[in-house]
Structure 1
């Protein structure tokens, strides 16, 4: 950050333009008088005294005279922490006031919105709302993932950024999502690598994402999307609690998509990947396609895995891996 940016940052912390200007002047001059600062800045002495008095009250200056005619800049760390907390409190009050004002609007002005629990979003607003809501997630995202997708089925940089800042993701994929080669390589793999906890079911009961257990997005299935391309926003209610319970039940019964630390060290990385995809229930052709290997190479690795596990079929192998904590 350059010194040219500092006035703007000081304004955001609550200093007036005049206070910021005289504080920066004090940083250049050190101990000084109000008269000297006024002359340097082209102010009236009274204006300089008022600004110095205010900076002293904030803890950014130490007065050298009772009348505020002298001042020295001091270490701003404590003062800036106080200002930052004050601005944070003001933002929280503004946040609460804006929410209350919107609720009053929904109750008294908007004719179609007498119930705050469910909102229907359609058309061009869908993608914008999804990106905004996911970007604001604070601690946890729960998701049933299956086609079709309102956002192009490619990388999800928002999720990767959220994972980097500590947001937990638990995602249950449908088999159809895992079988989509481009989606698997560009979206699922990078998100799992970034820390997503992923599991898979043959099908998921509904297209659903729950953010911080306080807002859910329910999207349309293939059939529904052909008739009505829209989504529902569900706010705290018994419906949201039911959707959260549905996710948790499905999560417990879903099959993990990544190996645990109990997988035998003798397994090669490609064999571990094969185990993950076996658990996803996809076909051998799809596994070979997703891993970029031939069917012959896949068969050879399956034989080696069966030999290590003492099993004969791919089903027995997947069952053995699950029972022994490999996944």
Structure 2
């Protein structure tokens, strides 16, 4: 019964006899069990090593409580297994590092080559694209039509063919970018807002695209690094998920679909953000936030923010039965 804990069957049988006695000698145990003196001595040593028996002196032996000993053995075995798992993980990483070719771990692309490589990765993504987005942005007008997005955005085409996309947008959105975000939400993008440390795109948790932030400034040529080293990408995936888990969801919402900034206001307000926090997120002043909230209250015929929250929930549920 105790063999899974490393206690041999013969030693267990001897323990059963020993436990029924106050204390005894090896000779008496040999008589009671029909074992040889040598066999008894060997099993007593095994029981002592396992903490199941103790020598009292003058050739006498005594059994120790089984329950306490088994709990100790179990704890020791669990600790050994955990240590083995850690050692195996360390060995795996060492083997991975030794066998992995570093030739293509990090590649740097410049200008149109960077855009072409990025587009290729979007087109080859199978499961999920994850991205951090923050200023600075490329100059020029935003792409607002679905036709332009389908033609020029690799992420849009990936969404249309069923690839999942999670995006965390840095606070502060101009109206044009909000409209573009609303279009992406309609085609399936899941978006949240939180301060992000960098621009970053992860393709299927296997490749990371890290652009040079200064290269987005006027007069600079676009540069980006494409990272494939599994341990580096693993760390970047962990960073993305840590930020995602604490970010504020941006609701696509059906109420006031024509005004993406108001959708963002509603999303932040429903998440419990203060007026100051909403103003910072939207890049406007607090007076504008309060004016928009007052306009919403008038439109929905409510007089308190609590009533406003209930009315917004009711309005959205009526449009999404």
| TM, length-normalised to structure 2 | 0.49
